[in-house]
A and B are shown apart, each in its own frame.
Chain A
Amino acid sequence: MAGINAARRTQGQFEAIARVRWQLFANSLRTMRGRLELVARGFMFLGFAMLGFAGFAALGFATWYLTSHGKVAFLAALFWPIFLLWQLFPIVATAFSENVDSSNLLRFPLTRRSYFFVRIIFGSLEPATAIGILWTLGVAVGVAVSSPSLIFAAALTSFVFMGLNILLGRMIYAWVERWLAQRRTRELLGIVLFVFLISFQALGPLISHFGERSQPALTQFSRQALLIQRFSPPGLAADSIASAFHGNYLRSLGSVALQVFYVVVILWLLNLRLRAQFRGENLGESAARAIKPIGKQQATSSWDIPGVPGPISAIVEKEFHYLSRSGPMLFTFVMPMVILLIFRFGAGSGGARGGLLARATDLAFPVGAAYTLLILTNLMYNSFGGDGVGVQMFFLSPVRFREILMGKNLAHSLVMAIEMILVWLTVCLVYRPPSTAITLATICGVAFALLVSLSAGDYMSMYSPKKIDYAVFGRQRASGATAFASLGIQTAVLGLCALGLMVGRAYGRIWIATLIFLFLTVIATVGYATVLNRVDAVALKRRETITAELSRA
């Protein structure tokens, strides 16, 4: 009887959660902003649907081709992109990914099991999951169409693969969020990444050495890598289908069983985190400090940036404090370097001679810079998102909004500059030093794109602000309208930059691109100045909406 009551109570709680989410959505449509948000989400949904179905068709066809021609050994090459997309998309495309933050449900009498399922189910409602499922289904359908006898193996494998990916994503998020919540672990991560990047300095010549002189050693290395790959989730999924194809059903089931084992391990690790959250874990840093002897707070001097007025310096300093204390942000800032590494050594590398960018190394720096600009979208297009209720301070202070936004823009530009230096260093280490012409062209292109993004971002920050917590990982993003607008603007701007570079490359004179970008930068500067001249009026007009939106609990 008690069990039935508990089940009913849990069901009631799930229904209540679903209903409240629906009511929140329905209530949001009462405002024009909410309706615009719905339209923006509709467009994004279309975009993701196209990506999902295009992948479904492409992977389905590729699987059908491989299976029909007996080349099932290559199926892993299809599972890997799905796996990488599933796990990296939420980090790479933070502006378009959002997980519902269900941790605030803990104040209600939810059982641990209910909380666990709510976190899994609501946490999985994101584009990466939808696209990943569609792509995996594409593979399953491809197998089933070419060999109907493999339907069961394909269905079972796909099901387990999907479950593993969903859980793995949640588990990684939960643990990364935990690690990055503490300053010490953030610093440790920074050191690890630094060492990681430096190690590539040695790896490049090593690969050249093996590539040119020691083919057998390379072959042996590849064999070992393939062996390890076989035990990875994509490798196991592929092996399961391939074994069934060859009639080795026992091995096929073994591969599935190993995946299930991974699922169990992931569930265990995830459960550790969620159990801690359920018990009221505080990810703040004060808990860790509480055991230390209490010292006296010494007020430190604020920054003084030469030639920059005091209030603007203060805003820059505040932004840097915020960013340096945000694990998720720091993690995002590392992504351009990771992407460059993936392009160099990852999927599509075609062996040790390099990946997509390795064949056009002169594009590595522009590509890295363009991606850096994309990852700053959340910051630039939602400048006040992290301030929360603190935004009132800006309205109360005797500082014009023009200066406040200049401070924010300066901080974001400095982040961009630092990122550009890191990207340039990574390109130098992993590819080869970009030519002066490409470096100059990229800097000019970025100047243009940055000015456009800052101009548009300043407007969007006031017209469509959304509160975000820099401390939590992957559960929040800018509003749908902002994400949609930024996507359009970034596509147009980066498209123009790409066109400029293509023209320069076509004529063998990169300075043409530099000239084009310089010209565009001048226009963008005028536009930026115009925006700055208008922000005070906009801020005054929209102060109530901005403060209300950012002060939400």
Chain B
Amino acid sequence: MSTSSTVASPAIATEHLTRRFGELTAVQDVNLRVAPGQFFGFLGPNGAGKSTTIKMLTGLLAPTSGRMQILGTDFVENPVEVKRQIGVVPEGMALFGRLTGSEYLNFVGRMYGLDRATAAKRSQELLDFMQLADQPKALVTDYSHGMQKKLALAAAVIHGPKILFLDEPFEGVDAVASNTLKAMLQSMIARGATIFLTSHVLEIVERLCSHVAIIHRGQLVAQGSLEELRAGVEAQSAAALIASGTAPDEQPIAGEKLTLEQIFLRVVGGTRRIEQELSWLG
């Protein structure tokens, strides 16, 4: 099943994007289309190829084959130009542990070509917004996980990127920090930025994202708006019900919409029985 939106000039477009690691094909023939201004959720089970895809889209990993265009510019041919326009919170957050928060933000600002005054001003604003301003001399390595996530996000946006790539931004983040992050992301969307996000927290994705793609075993198995995915899954379920006479495990209560989690589990075939009782536990 693959439903795609028709977009005139996509913010992100890939064609047959493939990445192999020796014998293993981590990502195969992925054709993504993300329109400008979309809040795009990229989902998949563990090991499905989410991080590999996002690494390719941000220049951390070279594709084995296929093409990637960011805002109409070919990434492989013009990586520096593309990098200027994107912000990234990668899997490892890419922080320099032995700098203070302020020093790190200034550093990143300068790396993205901001002048000293602008970098300093934006650093201050971001530290205030992210509520990181009350530990002036703490090194990043001494920050809590949530604080590090907030700092990584602050660093990703300091240059005002047109596209933001976020790899698991809410992982290990408490509700307070999560609210701050969401507020920032929503304000960016309101101003016309595009956000490409991977997350395992499907409730957050459902609440934030207008469009979703699901990758499973390296292949894109679904792509479109939430409504499009829901319609696709319901149609598929109806067909399965007619064919087999049995309903899928995850059924919505009558009159309610399928949740993203239900859609996700249907698409990736996610129900798994515990084959073995771990009798020694507890």
User: Residue B190 at the A interface, CB < 8 A?
Assistant: no
Residues of B within 8 A of A314 (CB): 106-107, 110-111
The size bracket of the interface on B is 35 or more
A392 proximal to B (CB < 8 A): yes
Q: Are B113 and A310 in contact (CB under 8 A)?
A: yes
A-B contact sample (4 more), CB < 8 A, given A299-B123, A321-B103: A302-B107, A304-B116, A314-B110, A396-B60
B135 touching A294, Cβ below 8 Å = yes
Residues from chain B with Cβ under 8 Å of A397 in the complex: 83, 108, 111-112
Q: Does B177 contact A (CB under 8 A)?
A: no
Residues of B near A470 (CB, < 8 A) are 98
Given that A389-B94, A389-B95 are contacting pairs, would A396 and B88 also be in contact in the complex, using a CB cutoff of 8 Å?
A: yes
Q: How far is the CA of A400 from the CA of B139 in the complex (A)?
A: 27
CB <8 Å contact, B97 and A388: yes
Residues of B within 8 A of A (CB): 58-62, 80-84, 88, 90, 92-103, 105-117, 119-121, 123-124, 127, 132-139, 141-142, 155
Q: Cα distance A109–B15 when bound, in Å?
A: 51
Instruction: Mark A residues whose CB is within 8 Å of B.
Output: 284-286, 289, 294-302, 304, 310-311, 313-315, 317-318, 321-322, 325-326, 386-393, 395-400, 470-471, 540, 543-544, 547, 551
User: Is the pair B96, A300 in contact by a Cβ cutoff of 8 Å?
Assistant: no
Quick one: closest A residue to B121, CB to CB?
A299
Q: Which residues of B contact A396 (CB under 8 A)?
A: 58-60, 83, 88, 90, 94
Chain A's nearest CB lies how many Å from the CB of B237? 40
Give the docked Cα–Cα distance between A315 and B105 (Å). Answer: 13
CA distance in complex: A310, B117 (Å):
12
Query: How many A-B contacts if CB must be within 8 Å?
Result: 146
- Are B107 and A392 interface neighbours, CB within 8 A? no
Chain A residues within an 8 Å CB radius of B141? 284
Please measure, in the bound complex, the distance between the C-alpha atom of A392 and the C-alpha atom of B89, giving whole angstroms.
10
Q: Which residues of chain A have C-beta atoms less than 8 A from B97's C-beta?
A: 388, 390
The CA of A300 and the CA of B107, in the complex, are separated in Å by 11
Q: List 8 interface pairs A-B (beta carbons < 8 Å), by A numbering.
A: A286-B142, A298-B136, A313-B110, A325-B98, A392-B92, A395-B60, A396-B58, A471-B98
Q: Is the CB of B135 within 8 A of A389?
A: no
Across-interface contacts of A398 in B (CB, < 8 A): 80-84, 111-113
Shortest 8 CB-CB contacts between residues of A and residues of B:
A314-B110, A286-B142, A392-B94, A299-B123, A299-B124, A297-B136, A398-B83, A389-B92
How far, in whole Å, are A485 and B199 apart by their CA atoms in the complex?
43
Report which residue of A301, A395, A398, A540 has the largest number of chain B beta carbons within 10 angstroms of its beta carbon.
A398
List of B residues within 8 angstroms of A393 by Cβ: 94-96, 108, 111, 155
